[in-house]
Amino acid sequence: MNFEGIFQSLAWLGLVDDPILTWLGDTFASWRAHPDVAVSSSIAALAVVIALASISQTHRIRRRLETVKNEFFTALRPRFVLRDVHSKNCQLGEPIEVTYTICNTGSSTAQVVESVLSVDIQQWSSPRRVPIPAGRNDIGVLTLNAGEAATFTYKVPERTWNKNLVKDSEVIALIFCGRIDYVDASGVVRETSFCRAFDGTRERFFPLRDPELEYAD
């Protein structure tokens, strides 16, 4: 090992006055006088480098395994969505009844633990809010395997159809909204929120396209 050449290169760069370079110069001089010490020091330094590399590699492997685990659970997660939301009938004076289908479009089984549904008459200009279950379960006990679906009818006896609701209005809207909390086999609780407005022409409820109100975790 040409210690003299290394030190001369550092001197050429004007770094010889640096205390660290002075220490390195003394170390090189000692190694020239005792080559066996230089070999031992090199082996020790190599062992430290290998140990640090091993630790770094272990951290990288752990991070990769964590990523793979998260991707695995994400791929096998359940996902509840609402489809085919429509009125059972629109006869004037009859109670409002909303028929809807819950589908598990994910890849694993899940069970509803809390749910809240609401039908309300609101002005189009009013801010929209989805209610929070807070321990309620309007849907009831429901377990869906991957690919399964279940259809329900939500009855609102205190609200009846009238001509202002049946026809499209630029002032008021009939809103069907709610939230479904469901748990998978790993104990992870996810939620599906929805907010639909009634279309009198098609007698169906369509999503309001607000990601804060209409989403599935």
Rounded to two decimals, the pTM is 0.64
Task: Residue 192: name the closest of 89, 80, 86 by CA.
Answer: 80
What is the sign, positive or negative, of the torsion defined by CA atoms of 20, 23, 28, 34?
A: negative
Query: How high is the pLDDT of residue 21?
Result: 55
Asked if 104 and 144 count as a contact pair (C-beta separation under 8 A), the reply is yes
Q: Return the residue matching tokens 């290998």.
A: 50
DSSP 112-139: EEEEEEEEEEEETTSPP-PPP-TT-BSS
DSSP 146: T
User: Does 13 score more than 60 pLDDT?
Assistant: no
User: Does 7 score more than 60 pLDDT?
Assistant: no
Task: Residue 131: name the closest of 83, 86, 80, 193 by CA.
Answer: 193
3-state DSSP helix/strand/coil percent for the chain, to nearest 5? 30, 35, 30
Of 88 and 106, the structure prediction assigns the larger pLDDT to 106
DSSP 61-78: HHHHHHHHHHHHHHHT--
User: Does 125 score more than 90 pLDDT?
Assistant: no
Q: What is the pLDDT of residues 32-87, one digit of tens each?
A: 666 665 556 666 665 666 676 677 677 676 777 666 555 555 567 999 999 999 99
Query: How high is the pLDDT of residue 27?
Result: 66
Mean pLDDT value across residues 179-195: 95
Q: What is the pLDDT of residues 192-203, one digit of tens each?
A: 999 999 998 888
Q: What is the pLDDT of residues 149-164, one digit of tens each?
A: 999 999 988 888 888 8
Cα distance between residue 141 and residue 114, in whole Å: 9
Say which residues have a Cβ less than 8 Å from residue 162's Cβ, sequence separation at least 6: 92, 93
Helical (H) or strand (E) element with 36: helix 35-75
User: Does 168 score more than 90 pLDDT?
Assistant: no
Pick from 16-20, 52-56, 112-116, 202-206: least confident:
16-20
Query: How high is the pLDDT of residue 78?
Result: 95
Of 8 and 63, the structure prediction assigns the larger pLDDT to 63
Say which residues have a Cβ less than 8 Å from residue 191's Cβ, sequence separation at least 6: 179, 180, 181, 182, 216, 217
Model confidence band, residue 1 (pLDDT cutoffs 50, 70, 90) = low
Assign residue 34 a region (left: φ > 0; alpha: ψ between -120 and 50; beta: otherwise).
beta
Give me the domains of the chain, ranges plus CATH numbers: 3-75 (no CATH), 80-216 (2.60.40)
Query: How high is the pLDDT of residue 83?
Result: 95
Query: How high is the pLDDT of residue 165?
Result: 83
Query: How high is the pLDDT of residue 44?
Result: 66
Helix (H, G, I), strand (E, B) or coil at 144: strand
Asked if 194 and 82 count as a contact pair (C-beta separation under 8 A), the reply is yes
User: Does 18 score more than 60 pLDDT?
Assistant: no
Helix (H, G, I), strand (E, B) or coil at 22: helix
